[in-house]
Amino acid sequence: MAIPSLAPRCALTRTVAVPFALLFISFTLLFSYHPPFKATLSKFAPFITSHTAGPLYTAAVVYLVRLSHADELLKSLASVNAYLPLHDPWPIILFHTGDFDDTPVQDDFLASLREKIGGPSNNSELDFIDRVEFVKIDWVLPEGIPHTKEELDPVSPSSWPGYHHMCAFYATKIFFNPRLRDVTYYLRMDTDSLFIEPLCYDPFEVMHVHQRSYGYLGIGNDAPQVTKGLWHFIRDYADSHPEVALQLNASKMWEWPSNSTNGDVDWDEVPIHGYYNNFEIVKLEEFRKPEIKEWFDHLVQYPEGFYKWRWGDAPLRWATTQMFFDMERDTERLCGIRYYHPYNYVEQCECVPFHA
C-alpha cells in the first residue's frame, strides 16, 4: 500500500521542489548579473582585496568655491558634466567659506547650473544637479602670527589671507575634512579649470586598478618669490627624519639645489617643482598615514610658511609625494585629459580607452 501514500508525497515533493528550483534558478541568475562596469571591475579580481558586496571604492569631485566666481564655476561644472565619464554618479562637493550658506543662494546657483547644462544630465543615472553638495569650511588665522596684514607683512599682500587659507587647505587640511572621511579618492578642480573634450576613460577606475595614491596631469615650477625658506624647511625635516631623506635620495625626480662652481647657490632663488594640482586625484587614506600627518603638523606649526611666505599647495604636494611615496609605483600621470587652466602648460599624451 505504498503506492497510494506515495502519490501525495510526489505531489508534495513537486509543490515544494518546483518553486524551490525556480527560486534557485532566479537567485543564480540574479547574482550572476552585474551592471556593465561592475563586471568590468570584477575581471580585476587580483587587485581587489574585498569580496564583500558594495562599492570597491568611493569618490568625489571637489572644488573650493566663492560666490564672486560663480560664473566660471558654472562653466567648469558644465564641463565636468559633459566630458568626465564616471561609472558612478559620485558627489560633486563644493567647499565654501560661508557665502553659499543660505538656501536661496544655493537654489539660485543650482537653477543657473541646470540652465547652463541645458536641463537634466543624461550622462548618469542621477541628475547632475542632485549630485552637488555645499559643504562649509571655517577659515581662521592660526595662532602665533600677527592677524593684520600690516604687522605680518606677507610677500603676496593683495591676495591675503584668502589665497593663503586656500594653500593651507589643499596642502594639509583637506585630507582630514569630515565630509571626505569615507571617500577613497577625490578629484580636484578649480573654479577656473575646464575639461575641453570628452575623456575616454574613468580616471578613478585607472587610479583604483593601478593602485595609485596620486594622479596628475603635469609638473611646473613655483616662483622663488613664494617659496622663500621652503627648500631649507624640507632639508631640515629630512635631516631629522632619515626615512624621508632616504626616500628623497632614492627618487630619480628629486633634486636638491646644487652649489655652483663659484660659490654657494642661494636656495631661496632656486625654483621648486610643483604639480599643476588644480587638477589632481588623491587617494585620501594614503595621505593620512601617521608619518605624513607628522609632516603636516610640522608645516602647520610654522604658520609663517603659508601666511607670510605664501608657500603654495602645488610645491607642497610635489614635496610631500616625493618625501613619502615611490614615484613610479604610487603616482600616475593621467594621459589624454584635454584640460584648460590659466598659465598651465601640460604636454599632451594620448587618450587610451581603459578596459579593466
Ligand X SMILES: Nc1nc2c(ncn2[C@@H]2O[C@H](COP(=O)(O)OP(=O)(O)O)[C@@H](O)[C@H]2O)c(=O)[nH]1
Binding site partner of 65, from Mg ion, ligand X, none, Cβ cut-off 5-8 A by kind = ligand X
Q: How far apart are CA 156 and CA 153, in angstroms?
A: 9
Instruction: Name the H helices within 221-301.
Output: 230-240, 242-250, 290-300
Q: DSSP characters for 177-242?
A: -GGGTT-SEEEE--TT-EE-S--SS-HHHHHHHTT-SEEES-EEEE-GGG-TTHHHHHHHHHHH-H
304 binds, among Mg ion, ligand X, none (CB under 5 to 8 A by kind): none
When the beta carbons of 318 and 325 are compared against Mg ion, the nearer one is: 318
Residues 134-163 that bind Mg ion (CB under 5 A): none
Q: How far apart are CA 95 and CA 103, in angstroms?
A: 15
Residue 313, Cβ density class (10 Å: 0-12 exposed, 13-18 middle, ≥19 buried):
buried
237 binding partner (options ligand X, Mg ion, none; Cβ < 5 to 8 Å by kind): none
Q: Rule CB under 6 A: which residues touch ligand X?
A: 63-66, 69, 96-97, 162-163, 166, 190-192, 278
Q: Which is nearer to Mg ion, 97 or 278 (CB)?
A: 278
To ligand X, the closest distance from the beta carbon of 349 in angstroms equals 22
Residue nearest to ligand X according to CB distances in the complex: 162
Is the Cβ of residue 40 or residue 106 nearer to ligand X in the bound state? 106
Q: Which of residues 249-278 bind Mg ion (CB under 5 A)?
A: 278
Which lies closer to ligand X via its Cβ, residue 205 or residue 222?
222
Site string for Mg ion, 183-202 (x = CB under 5 A): -------x-x----------
Dihedral sign, CA of 83, 86, 88, 91? negative
Residue carrying the nine cell digits 500500500: 1
- Shortest separation between residue 219's beta carbon and Mg ion, angstroms: 16
Asked if 280 is part of the footprint of Mg ion (rule: CB under 5 A), the reply reads no
**CB within 8 Å of 99: residues ≥ 6 apart:** 66, 67, 68, 105
Q: Which does 97 bind (CB under 5 to 8 A by kind): Mg ion, ligand X, none?
A: ligand X
Residues of this chain that interact with Mg ion (CB under 5 A) are 190, 192, 278
